[in-house]
Amino acid sequence: MPLKESEAIVLRSFPLGEGDRLVSFLDRQFGKLRGVARGARMPKSRFGSTLELLSYIRIWYFEREGRELVRINQCELIESFLDLQNDYQAGIYLALLSEITEGVLGEREVADPQFRLLLLAARAIRTNGPSPAILAYFALWTVRLGGWLGSLERCAQCGKPFEQGFAYVSPGSSELFCEKCREPESRSSFGSGRRLEQISQVALSIGRTALSGTLERSLKNNPSLSGSDEISSYALNILEQHMERKLTVRQMLEASKSGESNLKN
Ligand SMILES: [Zn+2]
């Protein structure tokens, strides 16, 4: 039973038994794993606050042959995001990053790019606050890393560049269509079960910037909130389609937004 040492990000943890924790984490080398931290809920636990949401840690664990769960032996905190939980909205953002990562990755699927993306997004939330542009960047890159991204440049049918008007997409699909090529049956609001979503030029441009440059550059342009939301929504729909379920935290985020706009009105 060899002891492994690695870097990891804590995705989630749940109480288990009397004083233990069941921890889902993204190991930088070996992908998404789940393990048991014995006594982690006891007073003076040696795990301290290392097992909090998105904690970036050094971890030592034992893999047990034929067992899905590893036994977590020791953790050291490299970077904590616990302080961000003081801001409700930032806390929701972190939970969404975690839920997406956990949902799209298979067990033990090597995922170093997703590891770096997750850390980058969490740090950006610390620096910039919970900005919709960060979520847009994270969601689009997760879709791209999964290999599910469509073109934000040109129509999937006729190949014409999106230069004016809207692009159209059936929620959950990655293919964007121009005004002309969007499915005829969807033009009428009756009779067709499929609702097409419109994506504005502003949103497409935010998406292209995110995919062609750094997150820093994406944020520097001070991108529009509604444009960021539109392109996030496109990417999150694709992720939900692949996960075959709705993201729970996304619903919380949307509820908190509509709560805010009700207050303003
Ligand atoms: Zn077209």
Cα(13) to ligand 1 centroid in Å equals 46
Average pLDDT of span 65-89? 94
Rounded to an integer, the average pLDDT of 40-66 is 92
Instruction: Please tell me the distance between residue 180's alpha carbon and the centre of ligand 1 in angstroms.
Output: 6
Q: How far is the CA of 164 from the centre of ligand 1 (A)?
A: 12
Pick left, alpha or beta for residue 184 (phi over 0 → left; psi -120 to 50 → alpha; otherwise beta): alpha
d(CA 96, CA 127): 18
Q: How far is the CA of 204 from the centre of ligand 1 (A)?
A: 15
What is the distance between the alpha carbons of residues 128 and 252, in angstroms, rounded to a whole number? 21
pLDDT at 194: 65
pTM of the model: 0.92
Going from the Cα of 168 to the center of ligand 1, the distance in angstroms, rounded, reads 10
Q: How many CA atoms lie within 13 A of 25 on its CB side?
A: 30
Whole-angstrom distance, CA of residue 53 vs CA of residue 9? 8
Distance 167 CA to ligand 1 centre (A): 9
Confidence of residue 257 (pLDDT cuts 50, 70, 90): confident
pLDDT tens sequence across 236-256: 999 999 999 999 999 999 998
SS3 content of the chain, % helix, strand, coil (to 5): 40, 20, 35
Ligand 1: distance of its center to the CA of 151 in Å? 12
Q: How many whole angstroms separate alpha carbon 85 and alpha carbon 101?
A: 19
| Residue 88 three-state SS | helix
**Helix ranges (DSSP H) in the chain:** 88-104, 112-128, 132-146, 201-212, 215-220, 225-243, 248-264
- The pLDDT value given to residue 126: 96
CA 198 / ligand 1 centre spacing (Å): 14
CA of 165 to the centre of ligand 1 (A): 12
CA 71–ligand 1 middle distance (angstroms): 53
* Residue range 33-50, pLDDT digits in tens: 999 999 999 988 989 889
Q: How far apart are the CA of 90 and the centre of ligand 1, in A?
A: 39
Tell how many helices (H) and how many strands (E) occur in the chain: 7, 7
Segment among 130-144, 161-175, 188-202, 247-261 with least mean pLDDT: 188-202
